[in-house]
Structure 1
């Protein structure tokens, strides 16, 4: 195996293949390994209480199917509130029963109710939230002493679900996890918390985190919270991932969980803002100034915020994984070893590299240690490369020289990186713009590897052929030095994800040091060097690739119709694939240019076949559906009805589907054209600011003769302005705006004004701009108001044009299909449209169907 001349490319590749596949295969097994789901409430061996997935899923099923769609402001939302207080009081009764046996344990229950306002910036947009009489259910478990209640860990999940999802995973699953953790803790003999645990079942996360804001700003025990564990779900399968950790103390706490799954890479990706998502953790961090952990189920996020977020689609073992990790965290953070008491003076942002690898191993070390480690590796690598250098052309008068060879190797590596990224992106452009087959990989997170993996390999080979003759060892050593240098350079600017380059460079350093054992001449690299040097990078890189694709591939179905989804995914596959198999670069120079050219021709044929195959695939199927957003809008100012249709992805076929819908349900034969989506398109204000991702069409609908709108009569949507003239400064208006919206939820008002002061927050923008105020209130609460002082342009019109929009509480399909007769024209249309879509697309579309009421008024 030490001689390249004796072994040609095919024999060498056949020998290396098992080793090259070992890392990805081990990564695959690790990534999808799930714990055994348990049913029994008690361990049959130890007789101690244990986490029961069956019980957790029972809670999720009751909330998502027994009660149903628990959107803030709906009747079902109030039913979930009632059920939750009963469940919390049952825990309290169990506590009291156990407490009578002599154990020091106390359970307190609150049903918090309150109103408030907060600013919520998202996606570069500024908006304001107001809510009326929203509720939270809180349970505090402590030893009953003032000292035991002084410092607490908060664990949070939300009871509400979003439009139009029953929310079995998001977030009924974590609700069940918290209830079962309470059961196990309370019923475990001899367990008494040193520090209190506060279980917050917040009731309004999907309406932009109103419930967590309510707790953080108004509950009397909020100031005892020292750390937060937030539980979320953006999918239905796989292990729960730690994607945000905000202090070294909490990272160390996480190291005690039985099945860690979290990395600094996920932490850096989320904190960068690339993923336009958010959780309740934001409110706790902003208003309580506390540290914590943000954890979520993210596998199969095709079902995130979709109708099929049902218990039947939650993978066995997922609940067990989340609950056992959560339980371990709560036990540790409530124990004598807990760091909670040390967090009273605040916390410092983490400067810690951390990552779970194979099995239960969890690595963590400080940024300072990382800088030392990476610097030492780079230094030793340089001296090793210099010390093992053998001139590949000693017969020449001056040889090639060390620096010249390293320069050639560096050019080859940089060219290889460029080719790795360039060719897959060219393929992406061809698929989307030439063949009109964009997102054909969407149905499977691993499918892009099949399309863009060979393209990345072809990019490497073409780039190396164009570079020309370079000795393989020069490329190998340049690769080692570049990766080691990147690890140092990136870590010096305190980006912990530099660890990926360290983990790639370290095995290259080791095999280069050992290469002389297998290739005594020193003129070539042994195949052993390729095999052993590839194992750790392929394992680490594949673990990272699997996790990233699991999140980003489904995400492309909701990042906007104009987003370059194909290029984003191509870049992910190419860059992480290159990190996984870096030694392909020197390997291409092992067998000469003729062999490389044959490889390019062969791979080009393969790529033609692959592209042809993917061009036959449809992006969507019944379990990986297209998201369609459909509004029936009733304008009570103009008395017009419209059908608004939009998508959030760039897959082909949307325009034809819109045309077919309008042909079937519209009242015009004119081909639809897209309308402008901006801050002034108030038809979509109920989904603002997410509406910025949508590509909308709008067509008129016929109004039934004799139709009398209830929204302008007995259920009037009214915006009233009360003028205050006392102490009024010249050039200003002092107003109280009162919005009455009986039967409507998630109302929004939008207007242009220069606001000098208002009751929504303390710092309105000091300019004439557009404002959006969104409301989310408890069921049956239909009035809210706020005060503001506005600047009036000198000699200008003092009136303010206000656009208003709201959702019919009984006009949401299929959430309200049981009371469809009360939903008016919107529900009548949705019943037929939904059935038509199911048949027309063979179940490949999940449509959000909302009845909206809006208009314009002057104040």
Structure 2
């Protein structure tokens, strides 16, 4: 039946020229807040935890209370650094005793073995922008194998690590995952049927040492060859739900089994963020994938990143419901993969998959081929509806062009004003107020996006009237709504062309908007009451708004704590401000054109302006101080501290300089300014720039190769020499072999502490040809005095053994001068604090209560020229 526009319809339409009450604008704002709040509540829901008393009625369920007991036993051991007694003896003994108990109480039908594996090896880890050579000796892995029905079956690997960083008991990173694995192992061991695929549980003892122990396992262990799939369990935070943030690669069938877990939670967008190298972390999944050719799943906790790698990551802050949620999911996933035929079948490159959960209720996943079809279909529908609406509403191209310009200019202005505010806060030393109180980021930057988007629209309204291009208000609002959708449609086209899987974030709102705008046009609801078509429109925005709210929550929850370890080179106000403005636009862009319908729009702008001004004032008060050591509102500023002695030698092996000092890394934008009034000796702080020219890597202990770029921005305070109670590291050249007239091979031996850094840089005119530790020279090398360098991390576990290796240098014919500068740093990471000098203890004690010392160690740097 055709709809014919009549006189009554025309009169009704003309009546719609009247604006609606500005109170409706407040309703829009409240509606958005309500939807986002619902998303927040759903995101924080947890299942009821089961106790041992519940087990009789739930014999096949994961028991959270027992897992909690396992974690208590592990964290009671304290920090477990690779090479320490706590890690190599106490933790290994504890896990072994629990595993033996599980095996002894297993069902008779099961065939379970376990092995304590001691691994030694080396490899190159290609971090961006610079990688490192990793050498390790005597690291320990505890491996349990639940044998399949057939010996020839392939294996599923479940992995977590029991070691920790220097000062942390490792409750979440990664103790809770070890506890979950133990309880999953217990449940699997009591099954009355053996699995079709082998199940291997790896408790690895050297992840924090640059993910080394997993390399030893996957490249050397007798059970590693037939591993097909891995479930890796990690943490970059200490609360919340475990998120699936990596899957594959290129095995879409994996999602079929993960989608069966009771509480799925994962976003392929998280995978693409992680692979972009924005997050300064990595996991064992990388090792299994790159060195073992294994596919699988990578899970991590990411909420409450303030506790990550600190003394606050303990047992007591972990809610028992977290064990239950993770345990239910991992147990079900292991059970599914235990009998999955794909595990024993041939691997084929299926391409990746797009996946995302819907409020944790179920997973949506589809292949890349389906993604292409879905994207193309939604793009065509969106563009088709837009063209139809132009014809239906009789809109000219000039108006469309000016409205597109208005839309883009409003967003660009919002980002520009945000940048000005961020730079102003940086200039007056008031950055990161939202670090402790995240809502301040919303109060600062969300009003900016809303105000300037609307102000630009109002300005363009006046220009349209001046040039007599203005049209009926309802038509104008409708075309603005269409143009918002077309903008994201263009983003979809670009993203799809670049094969970005996260395009679904734009596809979903575009699809919903297209459908509901089609309904409005089909029944010509805009000729009726304004409130009717707006109500229909708002129904269509509910799910996209909830999606945007969840994404906003996840991004800010992840990145705000990360700003505490992002270094000093970037003003974090710019990053967080850009996130908030972008996410505000993403959530509210489908509402903003409706504000043109409001009467007295200035009241809404005044309300938003007052919100911004009030927040800005709070930022300037003590409330806006970024840091807190209060366990209930934890947001500490991080400092790793090394009491370091440095010895430089010339080419004749004579000591030319010997000094000592307190070295600490400035891990965020406010450091060291924030502590200058607290620390002993800060008036003597010395710039490192000159020393960095004199000594390899500034004569400092380096934690990871990612630290190279910011070494000069760290702090050095001269002090008395540290008190070393064990032998200092030594380096010797055992032999120099002439491989040819232009190739010299230097044989080195290094022995010292259980954690050492080695730095090398050939003289000008000399170049690296080969290093025996990985049999190639990395192509991306940091420069020192315009010379390439090599960084080697060497970690010992159960016992300390010398590191023997050789390096081949390309040397000009008849070269008679030294070939290489080389330095060794010994780190004394788990020394008893009683060996610290009184001066060092006083220095540490003066750090304010709102700081946390993530590392406290002694270090000895010594350099030679050979």
Name the residue aligned to 2:795: 776
SS of the residue aligned with 2:714? strand
Give the alignment of 1:165-184 within 5 angstroms: 165-184=168-187
Name the residue aligned to 1:153: 156
Name the residue aligned to 2:811: 792
Q: Does 1:8 align with 2:20?
A: yes
Does the Cα contact within 8 Å between 2:236 and 2:302 map onto a contact in 1?
yes
Does the Cα contact within 8 Å between 1:41 and 1:49 map onto a contact in 2?
no
Give the deviation of 1:141 after TM superposition.
Answer: 0.5
Give the deviation of 1:575 after TM superposition.
Answer: 1.2
Does the Cα contact within 8 Å between 1:43 and 1:50 map onto a contact in 2?
yes
Give the deviation of 1:824 after TM superposition.
Answer: 4.4
Give the deviation of 1:509 after TM superposition.
Answer: 1.6
Does the Cα contact within 8 Å between 1:60 and 1:169 map onto a contact in 2?
no
Name the residue aligned to 1:215: 217
Does the Cα contact within 8 Å between 1:16 and 1:531 map onto a contact in 2?
no
Task: Check 1:847–1:94 CA distance in 2 against 1; reply closer, same or farther (3 A cut).
Answer: closer
Does the Cα contact within 8 Å between 1:465 and 1:596 map onto a contact in 2?
no
Give the alignment of 1:502-521 within 5 angstroms: 502-515=507-520, 517=523, 519-521=525-527
Give the deviation of 1:529 after TM superposition.
Answer: 4.1
Give the deviation of 1:327 after TM superposition.
Answer: 0.7
- Structure 2: distance between partners of 1:63 and 1:755: 44
Name the residue aligned to 1:807: 827
Q: Which of 742, 759, 767 is the equivalent residue of 2:772?
A: 759
Q: Which of 86, 106, 111 is the equivalent residue of 1:76?
A: 86
Q: Does 1:646 align with 2:665?
A: yes
Give the deviation of 1:792 after TM superposition.
Answer: 2.7
SS of the residue aligned with 2:186? helix
- Structure 2: distance between partners of 1:765 and 1:382: 49
Q: Does 1:540 align with 2:542?
A: no
- Structure 2: distance between partners of 1:611 and 1:520: 41
SS of the residue aligned with 2:761? strand
Give the deviation of 1:532 after TM superposition.
Answer: 1.9
Q: Does 1:701 align with 2:719?
A: yes
- Structure 1: distance between partners of 2:245 and 2:594: 36
Q: Does 1:62 align with 2:67?
A: no
Q: Does 1:852 align with 2:855?
A: no
- Structure 2: distance between partners of 1:520 and 1:735: 82
Q: Does 1:329 align with 2:324?
A: no
Name the residue aligned to 2:388: 387
SS of the residue aligned with 1:139? strand
Task: Check 1:31–1:662 CA distance in 2 against 1; reply closer, same or farther (3 A cut).
Answer: same
- Structure 1: distance between partners of 2:440 and 2:669: 18
Give the deviation of 1:559 after TM superposition.
Answer: 0.8
Q: Does 1:91 align with 2:94?
A: no
Q: Does 1:30 align with 2:30?
A: no
Task: Check 1:410–1:692 CA distance in 2 against 1; reply closer, same or farther (3 A cut).
Answer: same
Give the alignment of 1:82-121 within 5 angstroms: 82-95=93-106, 98-99=107-108, 103=109, 105-121=110-126
Does the Cα contact within 8 Å between 2:149 and 2:195 map onto a contact in 1?
no
- Structure 2: distance between partners of 1:849 and 1:183: 38
Does the Cα contact within 8 Å between 1:431 and 1:615 map onto a contact in 2?
no
Does the Cα contact within 8 Å between 1:4 and 1:590 map onto a contact in 2?
no
Q: Which of 386, 394, 397 is the equivalent residue of 1:403?
A: 397
Name the residue aligned to 2:199: 197
Does the Cα contact within 8 Å between 2:242 and 2:302 map onto a contact in 1?
yes
Give the alignment of 1:374-453 within 5 angstroms: 374-389=375-390, 401-433=395-427, 435-453=428-446
- Structure 1: runs of 5 or more not aligned: 393-399, 812-818
- Structure 1: distance between partners of 2:435 and 2:836: 37
- Structure 1: distance between partners of 2:812 and 2:703: 30
Does the Cα contact within 8 Å between 1:561 and 1:648 map onto a contact in 2?
yes
Name the residue aligned to 1:368: 369
Task: Check 1:191–1:454 CA distance in 2 against 1; reply closer, same or farther (3 A cut).
Answer: farther
Does the Cα contact within 8 Å between 2:685 and 2:717 map onto a contact in 1?
no
- Structure 2: distance between partners of 1:539 and 1:122: 36
Q: Does 1:467 align with 2:460?
A: yes
Name the residue aligned to 1:608: 613
Does the Cα contact within 8 Å between 2:731 and 2:749 map onto a contact in 1?
yes
Name the residue aligned to 1:815: none
Task: Check 1:599–1:796 CA distance in 2 against 1; reply closer, same or farther (3 A cut).
Answer: farther
Give the deviation of 1:41 after TM superposition.
Answer: 6.7
Name the residue aligned to 2:498: 493
Deviates more, 1:223-232 or 1:510-519: 510-519
Deviates more, 1:573-582 or 1:258-267: 573-582
Name the residue aligned to 2:482: 477
Name the residue aligned to 1:577: 584
Does the Cα contact within 8 Å between 1:412 and 1:475 map onto a contact in 2?
no
Give the deviation of 1:68 after TM superposition.
Answer: 1.2
Give the alignment of 1:171-320 within 5 angstroms: 171-188=174-191, 190-246=192-248, 247-320=251-324
Give the deviation of 1:325 after TM superposition.
Answer: 0.9
- Structure 1: distance between partners of 2:750 and 2:820: 15
Give the deviation of 1:203 after TM superposition.
Answer: 0.9
SS of the residue aligned with 1:317? helix
Give the deviation of 1:155 after TM superposition.
Answer: 0.7
Does the Cα contact within 8 Å between 2:207 and 2:214 map onto a contact in 1?
yes
- Structure 1: distance between partners of 2:603 and 2:404: 24
Name the residue aligned to 1:397: none
Give the deviation of 1:724 after TM superposition.
Answer: 4.5
Give the deviation of 1:165 after TM superposition.
Answer: 1.6
SS of the residue aligned with 1:589? helix
- Structure 2: distance between partners of 1:271 and 1:810: 33
Q: Give the paired residue count.
A: 808
Does the Cα contact within 8 Å between 1:534 and 1:582 map onto a contact in 2?
no
Name the residue aligned to 1:39: 51
Task: Check 1:408–1:316 CA distance in 2 against 1; reply closer, same or farther (3 A cut).
Answer: farther
- Structure 1: distance between partners of 2:609 and 2:774: 60
Give the deviation of 1:602 after TM superposition.
Answer: 4.5
- Structure 1: distance between partners of 2:189 and 2:778: 49
Task: Check 1:513–1:716 CA distance in 2 against 1; reply closer, same or farther (3 A cut).
Answer: closer
Name the residue aligned to 1:748: 757
Give the deviation of 1:370 after TM superposition.
Answer: 2.6
SS of the residue aligned with 2:378? helix
- Structure 2: runs of 5 or more not aligned: 1-11, 465-469, 471-475, 649-656, 782-786
SS of the residue aligned with 2:846? helix
Give the deviation of 1:307 after TM superposition.
Answer: 1.0
Task: Check 1:796–1:598 CA distance in 2 against 1; reply closer, same or farther (3 A cut).
Answer: farther
Give the deviation of 1:208 after TM superposition.
Answer: 0.7
- Structure 1: distance between partners of 2:707 and 2:684: 28
- Structure 1: distance between partners of 2:332 and 2:674: 52
Give per-residue Cα distances to partners, 1:539-561, cap 9 Å, x unaligned.
Answer: 01011111111110101110111
- Structure 1: distance between partners of 2:864 and 2:714: 24
Give the deviation of 1:429 after TM superposition.
Answer: 1.9
Give the deviation of 1:603 after TM superposition.
Answer: 3.0
TM-score of the two chains, using structure 2 as the length reference: 0.88
Task: Check 1:40–1:338 CA distance in 2 against 1; reply closer, same or farther (3 A cut).
Answer: farther
Deviates more, 1:539-548 or 1:355-364: 355-364
Name the residue aligned to 2:846: 836
Give the deviation of 1:786 after TM superposition.
Answer: 0.9
Give the deviation of 1:755 after TM superposition.
Answer: 2.5
Deviates more, 1:14-23 or 1:580-589: 14-23
Q: Does 1:722 align with 2:734?
A: yes
Task: Check 1:620–1:224 CA distance in 2 against 1; reply closer, same or farther (3 A cut).
Answer: same
Give the deviation of 1:291 after TM superposition.
Answer: 1.0
Name the residue aligned to 2:679: 661
- Structure 2: distance between partners of 1:49 and 1:317: 18
- Structure 2: distance between partners of 1:601 and 1:391: 36
SS of the residue aligned with 2:49? coil
Name the residue aligned to 1:124: 129
Does the Cα contact within 8 Å between 1:723 and 1:733 map onto a contact in 2?
no
Task: Check 1:612–1:535 CA distance in 2 against 1; reply closer, same or farther (3 A cut).
Answer: same
Give the deviation of 1:331 after TM superposition.
Answer: 0.3
Give per-residue Cα distances to partners, 1:431-471, cap 9 Å, x unaligned.
Answer: 222x3210010014444222211121122123323433462
Give per-residue Cα distances to partners, 1:694-716, cap 9 Å, x unaligned.
Answer: 63121211359xx8x656xxx24
Give per-residue Cα distances to partners, 1:302-321, cap 9 Å, x unaligned.
Answer: 11111111011123322221
- Structure 1: distance between partners of 2:133 and 2:685: 37
Name the residue aligned to 1:814: none
Does the Cα contact within 8 Å between 2:172 and 2:238 map onto a contact in 1?
yes
